[in-house]
Amino acid sequence: MKKTELAKGIYSVGAVDWDVRDFHGYSTYKGTTYNAFLIIDEKITLFDTVKKSHKDTLIHNIKAIIDPEKIDYIVVNHVEPDHSGCLPDMVELVKPEKIICSPMGKKAIIDHFHREDWPYEVVKTGDEINLGKRTVRFIETRMLHWPDSMFSYIKEDGILFSSDAFGQHLATTERFDDEVDLWRVMEESAKYYANILYLYSPLIRKLLKNVSEMDLDIKMIAPDHGVVWRSNIDKILQAYDNWSQNKADRKALIIYDSMWHSTEKMAHSIAEGITETGVSTDLINLKVHHRSDIMTAVLNANTIILGCSTLNNGLLPRMAGLLMYMRGLKPTNKFGASFGSYGWSGEAVNLMNKALEDMKIEVIEDGLRLKYVPDQDSLAECVEMGRRIGKRVLDSTAGQ
């Protein structure tokens, strides 16, 4: 990562990971960054570190600016190993006067690294630390997305170090949002939200409200992953506001897995019926789409239709896995329906309906089951089901 100055004396010193392709089950086909930031002031301060595998890059970048041993404070906004993996190495090198963290951050650091003798300074929301010409204000953001998480706000420059909020898994040589195509940054921001923060939408709504009430003059948002926001802050804040309120497009997703193409034929016929009503429809075959990309589509669609063949009185493994993953992220405020082919038992449709109900998704159809291979009359039933779904979606979103 090239040395980048966010403001006079404030540098990005983290690392780009061009090769990572999996982040605990989330596909990172475009890599990621582990961002860290350095402020040169009377008290030289490092905000977060990087994944242990990228320690040498962090040290190299710091050395291009200053001798790392001159760092006075290390601020730990988040203890997850992709941000604190080399913290012990940096403490050994720097020997900081203070390690600044939230109350839960201190507990998490000790639980990870088993060092109770480090020079901790615990801060809470509203606490401030003076660095000389600059002041850091801290905001606890518990469960966004770990209990220890917090923001650090540089008052004089209007820079918000936002930890894992507003980030993207995106490897680039560019460091700012206006240096990369905006659609690309927003797409990766949506994927990040859908797979990491979706579950915490109620907390995000509360956080956005609290930050608004603090009347912070935010000129830049610097997350721990991806590019720094300086030109499109309003767009990412509006997107988070929409996502946290479960606002979605008038769109139907037909997510399916098929054994011998019978359920696949049903999926295409249901899509035909929905499309006839004017509702935008996407077909998503579980054989070729990763669950994290599917969740990004779920974030932005108001109707989820699941299709699966019955296997061993249950679901095909890919559908079962997706539902477990989706259930953990808790998408809400959506319509749902299920369909599938079967040979002799046919439990899949009821199981999918139950999963939708458990997620508090409104099931608008009893579900359609077809035995073995659908004929033309059966496919006509699928088209009619699609028409009913499309009409229900249109009626429910009229005026929006």
Instruction: Tell me if residue 17 is catalytic.
Output: no
Measured between alpha carbons, how far is 329 from 294 in angstroms, rounded to an integer?
12
At 357 the three-state DSSP class reads: helix
| Residue of 192, 193, 200, 240 marked active site | 192
Catalytic residue among 48, 148, 164, 188: 164
Residue 198 appears among annotated catalytic residues: no
Residue 16 to residue 50: CA distance in whole angstroms: 10
- Per the structure block, which two tokens stand in for 17? 């990971």
Q: Active site residue: 41, 82, 157, 365, which one?
A: 82
* Residue 225 backbone class (left: φ over 0; alpha: ψ -120 to 50; beta: rest): beta
Catalytic residue among 60, 72, 80, 174: 80
Q: Is 89 one of the annotated active-site residues of the chain? A: no
Of 254, 243, 246, 229, the residue nearest 192 (C-alpha):
243
Measured CA to CA, the distance from residue 353 to residue 366 in angstroms comes to 8
| Beta-carbon count within 10 A of 217 CB | 9
Q: Cα 133–139–143 angle (5° rounding)?
A: 145
Intra-chain end-to-end CA distance of the chain, in Å: 44
- Quote the CA–CA distance of 276 and 273 in Å, as a whole number: 5
**134, containing H or E segment:** none
Query: Which residue out of 54, 78, 83, 169 is catalytically annotated?
Result: 78
φ, ψ at 227 (rounded to 5°): -90, 160
Residue 315, C-beta contacts closer than 8 angstroms, at least 6 positions apart? 308, 323, 348, 351, 352
Strand 249-257 and strand 220-222: the pairing is unpaired
CA distance 356 to 336: 7
Residues with Cβ within 8 Å of residue 363, at least 6 apart in sequence:
335, 336, 337, 338, 353, 356, 357
Comparing CA positions, the residue from 115, 287, 277, 294 lying closest to residue 190 is: 294
Among the listed residues 26, 169, 225, 365, the single catalytic one is: 225
Write the DSSP symbol of residue 227: P
Q: Which two tokens stand for residue 269?
A: 């016929």
- The verdict on whether 257 is a catalytic residue reads no
Single out the catalytic residue among 11, 145, 198, 200.
145
Specify whether 289 is catalytic.
no
268 is catalytic: no
Q: Is the peptide bond prior to 145 cis by the omega test (within 30 degrees of 0)? A: yes
Q: List, by residue number, the catalytic residues.
A: 24, 78, 80, 82, 145, 164, 192, 225
